[in-house]
Amino acid sequence: MLQLEKPMVDERIQKETNRFFAKLFFFQTLFVIGGMVMQIVNPVPLRVFCLQIICLVVGIGFALIQLITKGVFWLKAKDDALISIREEILAVAYSLEFIILLLGDCVFIFFEKEYSSWNVLYCFEWMIPAWIYVVIGIKHSWIQWGGKARQINGKKLLKKLWIPAMVAAVFMIILLELPDWLEDKVFSGNEIFAVSVIVIGIPMGSYFLMKKIVDAGEKRANKMLEELEKQEEMTLEE
């Protein structure tokens, strides 16, 4: 079996991802502010948009404190090292906002039944920037296995995630649907089918989606290398 000598922590990918996340931070922040404006226009109780307030306070607060304390809030000279520190801070701020929106969205699904339609907005707020990253990440091959040996180990790791994903799906059913089913005291064939689709479908769907995304990034990375090799051959011929 192929063993990895070192886990892949590629500084080039890290730098390029940070640069992109720094841009996504501003995009996601504007997106969340836009969502808040929508909720102010269509008045909703404070508890419904407190998720967005927490997201903005934590994200912007973290970015401001870090940028000021590290002295990179305003850069007079274009210094590569300072720019990369700044991008790293904004990338962490983006990740914080993303995690808060994702977790908050899950909490919102479970506990807010009255205004559940707003859940779509919260989904868009974390999902759209995340999908932009996936598309651009594949294009620039930031998302990749990093070689054949890593591909084998990566796929094994993804398969190991099936069990936690199934447990999460069962947990989701218990919290979301079980009280209603128990109230009806009827557990019909349709409901059993729905449960099996969620418990098997979610982990399976996530596995194949992840695999497909990373495979696409890997393919793109290989194509990029082939192009580099071709360029080199051409210069040698010249």
Residue 52 identity? Q
4 binds another protein (CB under 8 A): yes
CB of 2: closest distance to another protein in angstroms? 9
233 binds another protein (CB under 8 A): no
CB of 13: closest distance to another protein in angstroms? 6
152 binds another protein (CB under 8 A): no
Query: CA 18 to CA 27: how far, in whole Å?
Result: 14
Compare residues 11 and 183 and give the one whose CB is closer to another protein. 11
Angle of helix 11-41 relative to helix 119-139, nearest 10 degrees?
160
141 binds another protein (CB under 8 A): yes
How far lies 118's CA from each of 111, 124, 175, in Å? 13, 10, 19
Q: Cite the beta strand spans of the chain per DSSP E.
A: none
Region 213-232 residues binding another protein, contact defined as CB under 8 A: 221, 224-225, 228-229, 231-232
137 binds another protein (CB under 8 A): no
Which residue in this structure is represented by tokens 């886990």?
A: 7
- Tell me how many degrees the CA angle 46-52-56 measures, rounded to the nearest 5: 125
Q: Which residues are at the interface with another protein (CB under 8 A)?
A: 4-13, 141, 144, 146-150, 221, 224-225, 228-229, 231-232
